[in-house]
């Protein structure tokens, strides 16, 4: 199950479970779409992999499967 990290690892923008702006790599590094497009150029700075749109976790299951707590 995806961790659904709550913030962009580059700019710290909030990325809640319903965000359409969240992008992830295969290791679940999480960035906002703006940073991916304009700063990272679709390359994860941690692993070198590409970044894809993170799926949205529906509200109906968010209590049972909550996102990761902010660090």
Q: How does pLDDT run across 2-37, given as a tens digit for each residue? A: 889 999 999 999 999 999 999 999 999 999 999 999
pTM for this entry: 0.90
- Distance between CA atoms of residues 51 and 31, nearest Å: 8
- Three-class SS state of 35: helix
- Distance between CA atoms of residues 54 and 32, nearest Å: 10
Residue 69 has pLDDT above 80, yes or no: no
């Amino acid at each position: 199950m995806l961790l659904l990290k709550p913030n962009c690892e580059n700019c710290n923008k909030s990325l809640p479970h319903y965000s359409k702006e969240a992008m992830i790599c295969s290791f679940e590094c999480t960035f906002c779409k703006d940073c991916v497009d304009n700063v990272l150029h679709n390359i994860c700075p941690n692993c070198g992999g590409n970044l894809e749109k993170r799926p949205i976790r529906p509200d109906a299951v968010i209590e049972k499967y909550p996102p990761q707590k902010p660090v």
